[in-house]
A and B are shown apart, each in its own frame.
Chain A
Amino acid sequence: MFRKLHDPGQAALRVYIDGVAVPAEAGESVAAVLLRQEAVWSRLTPVKGSKRAPYCLMGVCFDCLAEVDGVGSVQTCLTTVQDGMRIARQRGKRSLGA
């Protein structure tokens, strides 16, 4: 499992992953936060429902897709955390409304 090498201290934010509050640091990506979680997966694939986690971390592989503040299929490696952000692991196909 991944962990941060330093304590963000004053820069610490709080985001919610599937409703659970977790700490984050200003300036880091949502994918980085997801990688530090015990359940280290960000989505289930649309067809077979297998687990995927952030992989390339540079916007190419699309494996880090998750729902962020109600919007589905967000590339979390390209999305910077904001205080209070609500992140949901994406389970299968996206809904058109999300």
Chain B
Amino acid sequence: MKADVIVIGGGTVGAAIAYGLAQRQQHVIVLDGDDRDHRAARANFGLVWVQGKGTNMPEYQLWSRRSCERWADFSKGLLDITGQDLHLEQKGGLVFCLGDAEFEARRTTLQKLHNQLGGEPADCEMIDRSELERIMPGVAFGSEVYGASLGHRDGHANPLRLLSALHAGIQRLGGTIVSATLVEKIQSNSSGFTLGAGLENYVAPRIVIAAGLGSQKLGALVGLDVPLRPQRGQILVTERFVPILPLPCSGLRQTREGTVMIGATQEDVGLDAATTAVAAAKLSTRALRIIPALATATLVRQWAGLRVLTPDGCPVYAQSESHPGAFVALCHSGVTLAAVHAETIAQAVIDGSLPSSLDVFHQRRFDVPEAA
């Protein structure tokens, strides 16, 4: 099979780029993995989030801001093409602080980021408990809740609806998604790349590697060496409630359907996506310190997923120098960044070069020689 561009990986990152390519009249093939592969896109919490991102790399904060600004149009575009409502809300988001020490630490972190951003106006503020109670009149907060940081640009969406809509959109726009396809070989020649998967070959002048944790192995075949590590996140979900939380919070959000999602752990356990009782206990304990009435909630699901993390936690976008036409796109904020992936990254793949504003995201930043 031949295409203008082949995207390896049909998760939120790969699908967003492929959708953007298909919108720009490219014939795109998405080679998606197996159901048993690690799939961060299907374990996502669903925040469309800016607050606190990019400490020590302010460009990541600005890139996330831009995506959040583009999200409403992006979501509307998907609705028009696929009829799927992504349940997007962007009315702000909270990070709760238990006790004044957490509150002051949060203030310091956000202030540091703000200082790194130079002249950019602040889009976060610290709010005290009485202000929280004014914003969320239906919630009886636990006694330890001291306040929160409020990010005005933050919001949330349904990540599974996003993935489903992207897949539908790609196909509606003439693209092809091939599932259960493990890319084993990548050969390049003057006319582009030939990807071998089982008995099938796929040929295109440009390829995008967006295969999550599988990208390290694939990237190495075309001179794109990106260090990656998995980080496990576990999430609990309650039964459906009448609306309680008018705003999403880091680690606590109520979906449009009414369930309350409680997340997420950050565990370094390798490629192990199992759920554990200790994580359920930890997540429940923190949630009850914030909203004690959740103690009576019935938990209906618990799941785990593996985040795709680079050494500094920030995204990587690069084109291979040894194999021009081969791009890599990796991040653990596939939902937040979906809007810019579908626009800026898709356009860059067509143009054959990433804009210089994205140079900072090249993986060469990890190539620091070790001190003797």
Bound-complex Cα distance A47 to B258 (A): 9
Is B257 interfacial (CB 8 A cutoff)?
yes
Bound-complex Cα distance A92 to B258 (A): 10
Q: Report B136 CB to chain A, min CB distance, Å.
A: 12
Establish whether residues B293 and A97, one from each chain, have CB atoms under 8 Å apart when the complex forms: yes
Q: Report A72 CB to chain B, min CB distance, Å.
A: 8
Bound-complex Cα distance A96 to B297 (A): 7
Is A10 interfacial (CB 8 A cutoff)?
no
A94, closest chain B residue (CB): B241
A92, closest chain B residue (CB): B242
Bound-complex Cα distance A94 to B242 (A): 6
Bound-complex Cα distance A94 to B240 (A): 7
Bound-complex Cα distance A95 to B294 (A): 11
A96 and B240 contact, Cβ closer than 8 Å, known pairs A46-B257, A47-B257, A73-B298: no
Q: Report A14 CB to chain B, min CB distance, Å.
A: 26
Contacts of A71 in B (CB 8 A): 296
A93 and B298 contact, Cβ closer than 8 Å, known pairs A46-B257, A46-B258: no
Contacts of A93 in B (CB 8 A): 240-242, 258
Contacts of B241 in A (CB 8 A): 93-96
Is B34 interfacial (CB 8 A cutoff)?
no
Is B244 interfacial (CB 8 A cutoff)?
yes
Give chain B interface residues in 133-151, CB to chain A under 8 Å: 138
Binary contact readout A42-78 vs B (1 if CB under 8 angstroms, 0 otherwise): 0000110000000000000000000000011100000
Q: Report B45 CB to chain A, min CB distance, Å.
A: 20
Establish whether residues B294 and A96, one from each chain, have CB atoms under 8 Å apart when the complex forms: yes
Contacts of A92 in B (CB 8 A): 242
Is B131 interfacial (CB 8 A cutoff)?
no
Is B104 interfacial (CB 8 A cutoff)?
no
Q: Report B365 CB to chain A, min CB distance, Å.
A: 46
Is B239 interfacial (CB 8 A cutoff)?
yes
Q: Give the interface residue-count category, chain B.
A: 10 to 19
Contacts of B242 in A (CB 8 A): 92-96
B139, closest chain A residue (CB): A96
Contacts of A72 in B (CB 8 A): 296
Contacts of A94 in B (CB 8 A): 239-242
Bound-complex Cα distance A75 to B55 (A): 47
Bound-complex Cα distance A71 to B258 (A): 18
Bound-complex Cα distance A71 to B298 (A): 11
Q: Report B252 CB to chain A, min CB distance, Å.
A: 13
Binary contact readout B248-261 vs A (1 if CB under 8 angstroms, 0 otherwise): 00000000011000
Q: Report A8 CB to chain B, min CB distance, Å.
A: 31
Binary contact readout B67-102 vs A (1 if CB under 8 angstroms, 0 otherwise): 000000000000000000000000000000000000
A47, closest chain B residue (CB): B257
Contacts of A95 in B (CB 8 A): 241-242
Contacts of B293 in A (CB 8 A): 96-97
A71, closest chain B residue (CB): B296
Q: Report B335 CB to chain A, min CB distance, Å.
A: 23
Q: Report B329 CB to chain A, min CB distance, Å.
A: 35
B256, closest chain A residue (CB): A47
Bound-complex Cα distance A93 to B243 (A): 9
Contacts of B240 in A (CB 8 A): 46-47, 93-94
Bound-complex Cα distance A97 to B293 (A): 7
B239, closest chain A residue (CB): A73
Contacts of B296 in A (CB 8 A): 71-72, 96
A74, closest chain B residue (CB): B298
Bound-complex Cα distance A5 to B75 (A): 58
Q: Report A81 CB to chain B, min CB distance, Å.
A: 21
Q: Across chains A and B, which 5 residue pairs bring their CB atoms closest together, nearest first?
A: A46-B240, A93-B242, A93-B258, A93-B240, A96-B293
Q: Which residues of A contact B (CB under 8 A)?
A: 46-47, 71-73, 92-97
Q: Give me 18 A-to-B residue pairs in the complex whose CB atoms sit less than 8 angstroms apart, sorted by A's number.
A: A46-B258, A47-B240, A47-B257, A47-B258, A71-B296, A93-B241, A93-B242, A93-B258, A94-B240, A94-B241, A95-B242, A96-B138, A96-B241, A96-B242, A96-B244, A96-B291, A96-B293, A96-B294
- If A71-B296, A73-B239, A94-B240 are given as contacts, then 7 extra A-B residue pairs at C-beta distance below 8 Å, sorted by A number, are A46-B258, A47-B240, A47-B258, A94-B241, A95-B241, A96-B291, A96-B296
